[in-house]
């Protein structure tokens, strides 16, 4: 084939323009070299560019190439790295990806981070600390060709943060948007990464249409059989006014959890053939139509001024500027999931996201697939709990006398510790009471736990099996904590009067047969005592249902703490220094940490949700019982294991140091000590903790400093309220005690 000179020159000009325009990348081998020379992981580059790790892998293998704005950004990154890490001298026949470039001058040292002064670790910027490149907090990405949306910068940076993005073009603008109205009356959608979209919608139905058809919002599913997350719109007060909704709910509406069915906005939705779920148009409204094929037609609204964001968990989030709120919720969504309601609701939904009840079957003889049970899930139909697992008022107990109070032999009662004791004379001579708190204690209790998936089976005179989840009626009153097994063929002599029993939340020694979850009974065996159950309700269909849930929440917690300057690899002293004032380094990320913790506790609490405001009477079913995720046995197993994990550490610590706790509240433990720091009583040797004991660190299951008060303070508080066993762990953080919370 021959070309005319004009065609040849034009082709060369086009090629040069492509090079000048940054659309030609270095070879795949050079891409890998540059990234590794800079010490960057594929995950770091993926997060910086807003794609998934498999995309980076494909680009570096030459199987795929980035397009559009990501091509420009990737070229910019590689060009910058090439200047910093030029190719070494190569033989004439080699093929470098970039021509040699002079090295750039060394980067200036990172500025010190406030709050990490003293003997703490070397302070570095958040991005470097977490090993993640950051996208701009305010720069808007250019519009895609053909899209009618206008994009603009926020005008104010929301601050750096590592947000896991996805390269699924359906959701290229992130999982959510905060809808607001500017001073010119233009409706704006503030998305993650600082992106702002012009919103043309004039009504709520039009806003829903725009979201589904044009906004490119949503989040990919977390597991194979799962569903993509619906886009979330957060409406500010200005947006509520623009779309004809009240800025706040009346008292009656707040109690009902929704605006009236006759509200004009609900009528607009109805005329447009949009539907609302049974909870109506409230703080977390879900607007939908029937799915079209495999595509869901659903948008969720979050309305902060209607108390959608509980201040106990989200702090002042409702008062944040739109861009800041988008950043906060975007980090939570990328690391946990798009919020589906309260943190408790989201925690429960996260479990289901990893184990959807059904999946598509393999093609049958006719070549078609159908829906079938997803192994490892709780299924799509609820199962009855065992009678001993049923809370008071459950329909299974309808035959009991009206004022009958069930005792330990009738009712499973696995709860967290609320225990305290008087201080000994020796402890009163010490100067301080030091509180330590177990990080993400209930999440750690769920890690690797085998729980029941199906219905319970009653067994009489069973042989105890520590691998079989269930509830066991057994007498553990013979277990003597004055002598316990602490290892293979190793026993410890302890002062049992100074330790709580591991078998009851109040720390009292059991007096006869009682119902316990499997981890509690297994611990009695572990410390050297025989167990002989007389009855059990066990679940032969079982599995590690909570593992994916735990891993997701653990990673979210650790990533956010790392962004706040608290890494997982710090020495004990450096960890304590890094924790000092960590919340003040980034108030929004501190709220993410709070929300992640609430997601853990709230999600587990939802497993045994009680009736609320439903006109309910004892013996009648309530709404939560219709969910397959209403599983009090799973909640009991997690709490049992969490309490046992803590008691095991108490025993190890006492056996090694002779020190005993003064008070315990859930995951907080108070010890008397001569110094003010946990390092003044935790037995570290050469920086290494006691095996099996308490260890300082950020990981779930490790401990942090909770607070320190004087022994005189503790004795004074107990004398003031004439309560020698007042639980001081409840007040150790700041020392504030009032009549209202005296022991309650």
What the block records as the tokens of 16 is 């040069």
Tell which wins on pLDDT, 234 or 5. 234
- Quote the tokens at residue 188: 């704006």
**pLDDT score of 129:** 30
Given a cut of 60, whether residue 139 has pLDDT beyond it is: no
Q: Which of 7-11, 76-80, 245-249 ranks highest by mean pLDDT?
A: 245-249
Q: How many CA atoms are closer than 13 Å to the CA of 711, on its beta-carbon side?
A: 17
Q: What are phi and psi of 460, to 5 degrees?
A: -95, 140
Alpha helices by DSSP H, 169-250: 204-213, 237-242
According to the model, what pLDDT value does residue 329 have? 98
Tally Cβ neighbours within 10 Å of residue 149.
17
659, 653 in Cβ contact below 8 A?
yes
Banded pLDDT at 116 (limits 50, 70, 90)? very low
Find the mean pLDDT for residues 689-709: 96
Q: Between 112 and 47, name the one with better pLDDT.
A: 47
Contact 718, 724 (CB under 8 A): yes
d(CA 217, CA 202): 19
3-class SS of residue 646: helix
Residue 648 to residue 636: CA distance in whole angstroms: 18
Choose the weakest-confidence range: 55-64, 390-399, 560-569, 645-654. 55-64
Alpha carbons 647 and 626: distance in angstroms, whole number:
35
- For 511, the token pair is 């007096």
Please tell me the least confidently modeled range out of 36-40, 457-461, 596-600, 648-652.
Answer: 36-40
Q: What is the C-alpha separation between 550 and 447, in angstroms, rounded?
A: 6
pLDDT in tens, 403-416: 899 999 999 999 99
Nearest 5°: CA angle at 604, between 599 and 609?
A: 110
SS3 706: strand
How many other C-beta atoms lie within 10 A of the C-beta of residue 739? 8
Mean pLDDT of all residues belonging to the chain: 86
pLDDT > 70 in the chain, percent: 85
| Residue 660 scores a pLDDT above 90 | yes
465, 467, 472, 476 alpha-carbon torsion, rounded to 10°:
70
Residue 249 has pLDDT above 60, yes or no: yes
Helix (H) or strand (E) run with residue 705 in it: strand 703-710
Please report, for the chain, the start and end positions of each structural domain, with discontinuous segments joined by +.
17-84, 151-341, 387-416+449-541
> pLDDT digit string (tens) for 282-326?
999 999 998 776 678 999 999 999 999 999 999 999 999 999 999
Give the model's pLDDT for residue 42. 83
Cβ contact 190:178 at 8 Å: yes
CB contact at 8 A, 119 and 139: no
Mean pLDDT over residues 387-399, rounded? 94
pLDDT(17) > 60: no
Mean pLDDT for 583-607 is: 97
Distance CA 340, CA 226 (A): 15
Tens digits of per-residue pLDDT, 545-576? 999 999 999 999 999 999 999 999 999 999 99
pLDDT digits (tens, 9 = 90+) for 28-46: 888 988 988 887 888 778 8
- Contact 162/563 with Cβ under 8 angstroms? yes
CATH class of 17-84: mainly alpha
The dihedrals phi and psi of 308, each to the nearest 5 degrees, come to -70, -30
Other Cβ atoms closer than 10 A to 80: 13
Burial class (CB in 10 A: 0-12, 13-18, 19+), 168: middle
Alpha-carbon separation of residue 739 from 202, 433, 598, 668, 733 (angstroms): 53, 21, 27, 21, 17
Confidence of residue 47 (pLDDT cuts 50, 70, 90): confident
Residue 117 and residue 39: Cα distance in Å, rounded?
Answer: 27
Instruction: Using the predicted structure, report yes or no on whether residue 56 has a pLDDT greater than 80.
Output: yes
| pLDDT at 5 > cutoff 70 | no
pTM of the model: 0.79
Strand-pair category, 358-360 with 371-373: antiparallel
CA distance 643 to 497: 18
Sequence-separated (6 or more) residues with CB below 8 Å from residue 364: 370
126, pLDDT greater than 90: no
pLDDT at 110 over 90: no
Q: Which residue has the tokens 């095996």?
A: 691
Has residue 645 got a pLDDT over 50?
Answer: yes
Instruction: Provide the token pair at 232.
Output: 């979330």
């Amino acid at each position: 084939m021959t070309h005319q000179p004009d065609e040849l020159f034009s082709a060369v000009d086009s090629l040069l323009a492509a090079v000048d325009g940054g659309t030609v990348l270095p070879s795949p081998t050079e891409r890998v070299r540059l990234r590794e020379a800079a010490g960057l992981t594929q995950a770091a580059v993926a997060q910086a560019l807003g794609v998934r790790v498999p995309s980076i892998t494909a680009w570096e293998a030459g199987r795929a190439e980035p397009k559009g704005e990501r091509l420009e950004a990737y070229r910019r990154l590689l060009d910058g790295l090439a200047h910093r890490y030029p190719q070494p001298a190569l033989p004439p026949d080699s093929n470098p990806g970039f021509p040699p470039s002079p090295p750039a001058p060394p980067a200036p040292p990172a500025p010190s981070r406030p709050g990490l002064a003293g003997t703490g670790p070397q302070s570095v910027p958040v991005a470097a600390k977490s090993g993640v490149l950051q996208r701009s907090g305010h720069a808007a990405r250019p519009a895609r060709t053909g899209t009618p949306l206008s994009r603009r910068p926020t005008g104010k940076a929301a601050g750096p943060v590592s947000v896991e993005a996805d390269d699924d073009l359906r959701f290229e603008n992130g999982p959510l948007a905060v809808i607001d109205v500017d001073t010119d009356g233009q409706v704006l959608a503030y998305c993650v990464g600082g992106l702002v979209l012009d919103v043309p919608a004039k009504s709520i139905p039009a806003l829903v249409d725009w979201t589904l058809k044009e906004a490119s919002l949503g989040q990919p599913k977390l597991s194979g059989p799962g569903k993509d997350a619906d886009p979330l719109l957060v409406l500010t007060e200005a947006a509520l006014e623009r779309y004809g909704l009240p800025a706040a709910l009346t008292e009656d509406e707040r109690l009902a959890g929704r605006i009236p069915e006759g509200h004009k906005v609900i009528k607009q939705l109805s005329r447009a053939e949009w539907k609302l779920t049974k909870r109506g148009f409230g703080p977390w409204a879900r607007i939908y139509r029937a799915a079209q094929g495999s595509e869901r037609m659903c948008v969720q609204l979050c309305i902060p001024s209607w108390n959608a964001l509980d201040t106990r968990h989200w702090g002042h989030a409702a008062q944040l500027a739109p861009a800041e709120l988008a950043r906060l919720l975007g980090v939570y969504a990328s690391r946990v999931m798009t919020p589906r309601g309260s943190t408790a609701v989201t925690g429960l939904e996260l479990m289901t996201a990893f184990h959807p009840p059904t999946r598509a079957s393999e093609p049958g003889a006719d070549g078609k697939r159908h829906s079938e049970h997803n192994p490892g899930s709780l299924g799509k139909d609820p199962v009855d709990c065992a009678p001993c697992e049923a809370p008071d008022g459950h329909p299974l107990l309808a035959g009991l006398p009206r004022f009958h109070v069930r005792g330990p032999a009738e009712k499973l009662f696995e709860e967290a510790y609320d225990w305290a004791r008087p201080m000994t004379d020796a402890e009163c001579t010490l100067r301080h009471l030091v509180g330590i708190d177990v990080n993400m204690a209930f999440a750690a209790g769920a890690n690797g736990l085998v729980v029941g998936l199906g219905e319970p089976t009653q067994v009489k005179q069973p042989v105890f099996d520590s691998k079989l989840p269930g509830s066991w009626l057994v007498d553990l009153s013979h277990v003597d904590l004055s002598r316990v097994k602490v290892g293979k063929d190793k026993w410890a002599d302890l002062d049992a009067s100074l330790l709580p029993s591991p078998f009851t939340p109040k720390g009292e020694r059991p007096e006869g047969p009682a119902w316990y979850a499997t981890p509690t009974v297994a611990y009695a065996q572990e410390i050297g005592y025989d167990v002989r159950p007389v009855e059990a309700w066990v679940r032969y269909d079982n599995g590690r249902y909570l593992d994916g849930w735990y891993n997701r929440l653990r990673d979210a917690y650790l990533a956010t703490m790392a962004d706040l300057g608290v890494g997982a690899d710090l020495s004990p002293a450096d960890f304590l220094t890094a924790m000092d004032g960590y919340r003040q380094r980034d108030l929004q990320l501190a709220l993410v940490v709070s929300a992640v913790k609430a997601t853990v506790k709230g999600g587990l609490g939802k497993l045994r949700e009680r009736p609320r405001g439903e006109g309910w009477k004892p013996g009648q079913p309530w709404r939560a019982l219709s969910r397959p995720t209403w599983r009090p046995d799973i909640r009991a197993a997690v709490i049992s294991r969490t309490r046992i994990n803590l008691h095991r550490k108490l025993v190890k610590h006492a056996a090694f140091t002779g020190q005993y706790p003064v008070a315990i509240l859930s995951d907080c433990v108070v010890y008397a000590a001569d110094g003010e720091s946990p390092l003044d009583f935790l037995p570290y040797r050469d920086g290494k903790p006691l095996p099996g004991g308490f260890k300082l660190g950020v990981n779930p299951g490790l401990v942090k400093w909770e607070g320190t008060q004087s022994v005189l303070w503790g004795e004074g508080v107990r004398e003031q309220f004439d309560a020698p066993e007042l639980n001081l762990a409840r007040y150790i953080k700041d020392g504030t005690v009032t009549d209202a919370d005296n022991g309650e």
